Amino acid sequence: MRFTAIAFVAAGLSTGAASAHTPYRAGDDGSVRHVVVRYSELDLTHEEGARVLLGRIHQAARTVCGPEPSGLSIDEYQRYTACINESTETTVQRVHAPMVSAIYASTPKPRLYAERAR
């Protein structure tokens, strides 16, 4: 059975100290959040199968990284976006499927356009 897992420690993305309420870090016991993405029934040599897998990977990344932050915190949104992008990219690389990689490479990634003045 073909499957891959997203395993990602989001705390490494934080530029400052993460507070206890942020969903972007490993569990308090040091465990890593992960989701198994199954794709044994998909034909990854065809665009349709590759797109279905990318959707599953993106949904798994959202589960691992937590809900999209609400409010106006640029720092929280940056951590969330980085978590989604990095966990998705890592998982796409682990799949080793050229069609999946090509479609992912051509897909716009979420970015933060506004930055706080430093």
* Separation of CA 71 from chain center: 21
Please state the pTM of the whole predicted model: 0.71
Highest mean pLDDT among 33-42, 49-58, 63-72: 49-58
Q: Please tell me the predicted confidence (pLDDT) of residue 71.
A: 75
Identify the band that residue 19 occupies on the pLDDT scale cut at 50, 70 and 90: very low
* Residue that wins the pLDDT comparison between 99 and 108: 99
Half-sphere exposure in the Cβ direction for 99 (13 Å, CA) = 13
CA distance 11 to 25: 4
